[in-house]
Amino acid sequence: MSRIPEDVVSQVLDKADIESVVGRYVSFTKRSGTNLYGLCPFHSEKTPSFAVNPVKGIYHCFGCNKGGNSIGFYMEMEKCSFPEAVRALAKDYGIEIPEYEEDTQAKKAKERKERIFALLLDSARFFYSCFVSDNGKVARDYAAQRNLHPNTCKAFGIGYAPDSWDSLYKELSSKGYTDDEMLNSGLFAQTKKKDRLVDLFRGRLMFPIFDAMGRIVAFGGRAMNGEMPKYINSPDSEVYKKQEHLYAFNFARKERPTQLIIVEGYMDAIAMHQAGIKNAVASLGTAFTDSQLRLAARYCEEVVFFFDADKAGQNAALRAIKMMLNYLKKLSGMKIRIKIACVPDAKDPDEYIKEFGVESFNAVVKSAKDVDDYLSDRAYNDCFIDDQLDLNMYQDKIIEFGSWITDEIKRYRFASKANIYLKAPPEVLVKRMEDIASQNDKRESIQVERNIVRENTEEISRRQETTSEVKEASNARKSAIPDDYASELELEVFAYAVQLNKYMVDPEYIKKIDIIRPNDFFGNNMKSIVEFYLDSFVEGRGVSEALLVGELQKYTLNNEQAEIAYLKAVEKLPIGMNINKLCIEYLVRLYRLRKELLRYKRDYLLKILDRTKDEEKRAVFIEKLRKIESGLEFIRKQEEKL
């Protein structure tokens, strides 16, 4: 992991307050004490169990046990690494991140990505040079046939991949790129014998795919002579995940639009930009995803979808609508309006603009329907067969579509419209919709729980592997006690210590001898955590709990993520204790823990003493035992003073 300076991480946690970061995704519905509650974005639930504590800067779901700070939450939601999350939040909250030294692994990964970005850029330049060359006339003619102006082609970097197995390979080899780099770029395929690389794109019109920042991350290639498949797209790579990008989004975001128009093809998006409709993007030939919706929601208030008029396009519309409504149900804080538009006469947006002009197309966009209105009309049209409405089929469709709608008022209105044809009270239809929605939620909940268990297991394995590697590298002595061992009492002591904040080092409340220390704990992970706690302690403030939770995310405790184990312990603490009571509860547990540790050492020494014959060694062990008994007696006297 990149070593971003700890003071920068602390600054991000201070400014990127948990309430505002989580509030982008979760709508808080109630407050209890210092906690804000909302529906958990990580699992399905009807009653809010997701708590955010703005004072501590942490979140915790009582349902699925996810927990952490604002950086960890951002990592979960955006599926990004720790350095990426810190940089993104720093940018959002105006924090400058200085240059810092990266560890070897992170540095290599960064260099590898930079090489791929450079390779993709050189590839785009090669494709464009081929496009404007004599050999590229076939591609220029095709672009002209599709009414693409030369300036548009240049702006979008449209190019031509020669009909050759190795033209791009030779070009990139001459620039010093290795076979591994070329293979990782997604622009090449291996032969069946895997003895050489061949160009993936041959004889195709090429479309560079840019990320939101304007870097080329992939390509799409269109056949020009009726060849199938019509489009070939770059596979996912180290720099590209197709479900996370929107074609032409880098151009659209520059316009700072409040509305995005989402179409299905590159050509549609380019034609719209050429016609002056600068807020158009395309979904990269894949089913629309929650990541793409999240990307759109960051920059606009409304999305208008155009799906192809054929059966496949209309089925894709229903899948996308169902996914989006379900996703927005979980991310209650994400406010974005979804509309569906239909181009008359089953034309593509590209064709319609060419035939009827931009103003007519803008009118089509303006007439786009809200999702519930689209679903209502869709149910009717799908079931109107042989000049009559199939009522049984219509009833099933209405109940299915209505179960996707989460807003109670919209659902009732949806049922009321269907009442005209079904002659059934809206309340009856709503009840059926709710029953179906509940069944779907239960099925999804089971799957989500399985996914959470799987993800937790993978994360625990990753952390244990990392801590094991660190231990081996430091030649740490092996112990009979597992590294991630933490008794309930140990977790309680640590939780109380953190809650004491600045009072932990205030001699009026806690004596120096009673300050928590690493050797008060049995397991190596707890020792490391306490060491971090002490190193991060700021006089007059204590330790930032948000920063601490971030550190906990490196460890496991009792075969569980350490932050989850800690947050569970914190939730068990009594609420509303004054500082004097808090100190007493801490000391009671600390003394009990220290006695347990001394007794453990005593029992261990007694076993060794029993096996030892050498008198000198026995004398050493006996002296150690005497000190342990003295320590136990001292603790008993301290307890009597409480």
Picking from 508, 506, 503, 557, the residue whose alpha carbon sits closest to that of residue 530 is 557
Kindly report, residue by residue over 73-93, the tens digit of the pLDDT. Answer: 999 888 888 888 998 999 889
Kindly report, residue by residue over 445-474, the tens digit of the pLDDT. Answer: 888 888 888 888 888 888 888 777 666 655
The alpha helices in 387-425, defined as continuous H runs, are: 391-404, 408-422
Task: Flag whether 573 is in a domain.
Answer: yes
What is the pLDDT confidence band of residue 211, given thresholds at 50, 70 and 90? very high
Task: Flag whether 388 is in a domain.
Answer: yes
More confident site: 462 or 233: 233
Residue at token pair 């990782």: 184
CA distance 36 to 278: 40
Pairing between β-strand 259-263 and β-strand 302-306 as defined by DSSP bridges: parallel
Q: What is the mean pLDDT of residues 569-581?
A: 90
Residue 1: predicted pLDDT? 42
CA distance 219 to 221: 7
The residue among 209, 240, 271 that closes a domain is: 240
Residue 250's domain is classified under what CATH number? 3.40.1360.10
Residue 460: predicted pLDDT? 87
Residue 503: predicted pLDDT? 94
- Does 184 share its domain with 317? no
- Does 546 share its domain with 619? yes
CA distance 209 to 145: 22
CA distance 76 to 68: 10
Kindly report, residue by residue over 140-167, the tens digit of the pLDDT. Answer: 999 999 999 999 999 999 999 999 999 9
The answer to whether residue 411 scores a pLDDT higher than 90 is: yes
Of 81-85, 399-403, 474-478, the range with the lowest mean pLDDT is: 474-478
What are φ and ψ of residue 229, in 5° steps?
-70, 155
The residue among 240, 258, 292 that closes a domain is: 240
CA distance 405 to 410: 7
Residue 496: predicted pLDDT? 96
- Does 380 share its domain with 445? yes
Task: Flag whether 482 is in a domain.
Answer: no
Residue 62's domain is classified under what CATH number? 3.90.580.10
Instruction: Give the pair of three-digit tokens for residue 98.
Output: 């200085």
As a whole number, the mean pLDDT across the chain is 91
Task: Flag whether 43 is in a domain.
Answer: yes
Task: Flag whether 16 is in a domain.
Answer: yes
Q: What percent of the chain has pLDDT over 70?
A: 97
- Does 427 share its domain with 560? no
CA distance 5 to 175: 36
CA distance 585 to 613: 44
Residue at token pair 């770059």: 234
Residue 447: predicted pLDDT? 85
Amino acid at 255: E
Q: Are 559 and 460 in contact (CB under 8 A)?
A: yes
- Does 604 share its domain with 553? yes
Of 341-355, 370-384, 537-551, 580-594, the range with the lowest mean pLDDT is: 341-355
The answer to whether residue 336 scores a pLDDT higher than 70 is: yes
| Cβ density class 608-640: b for 16+ within 10 Å, e for less | eeeeeeeeeeeeebeeeeeebeebeeebeebee
Of 97-106, 311-320, 341-350, 405-414, the range with the lowest mean pLDDT is: 97-106
Residue 452: predicted pLDDT? 81
Residue 623's domain is classified under what CATH number? 1.10.860
Q: What percent of the chain has pLDDT over 90?
A: 69
- Does 249 share its domain with 344? yes
Task: Flag whether 357 is in a domain.
Answer: yes
- Does 227 share its domain with 132? yes
How many residues are there in the chain? 642
Count structural domains, the chain. 5
The residue among 344, 367, 390 that closes a domain is: 367
Q: What is the mean pLDDT of residues 41-58?
A: 89
CA distance 546 to 223: 53
Distances (CA, A) of 455 to 449, 502, 557, 560, 561: 10, 36, 16, 12, 11
Residue at token pair 């490196």: 554
Task: Flag whether 300 is in a domain.
Answer: yes
- Does 401 share its domain with 493? no
Long-range residue pairs from 307-315, CB within 8 A, at least 24 positions apart, any chain: 307/264, 307/340, 308/264, 308/348, 309/342, 309/343, 309/346, 309/347, 310/346, 313/264, 314/378
Residue 234: predicted pLDDT? 95
Residue 188: predicted pLDDT? 96
- Does 235 share its domain with 253? no
The answer to whether residue 553 scores a pLDDT higher than 50 is: yes
Instruction: Give the pair of three-digit tokens for residue 605.
Output: 């020494």
- Does 123 share its domain with 253? no
Of 20-24, 98-102, 547-551, 616-620, the range with the lowest mean pLDDT is: 98-102
| Close Cβ partners of 252 (under 8 Å, ≥ 6 residues apart) | 246, 260, 278, 279, 280, 281
Domain range for residue 218? 104-240
Kindly report, residue by residue over 483-523, the tens digit of the pLDDT. Answer: 999 999 999 999 999 999 999 999 999 999 999 999 999 99
- Does 508 share its domain with 426? no
Residue 182's domain is classified under what CATH number? 3.90.980.10
Q: What is the mean pLDDT of residues 281-296?
A: 87
Picking from 403, 410, 427, the residue whose alpha carbon sits closest to that of residue 372 is 410
Task: Flag whether 458 is in a domain.
Answer: yes
- Does 275 share its domain with 163? no
Picking from 330, 283, 318, the residue whose alpha carbon sits closest to that of residue 303 is 283
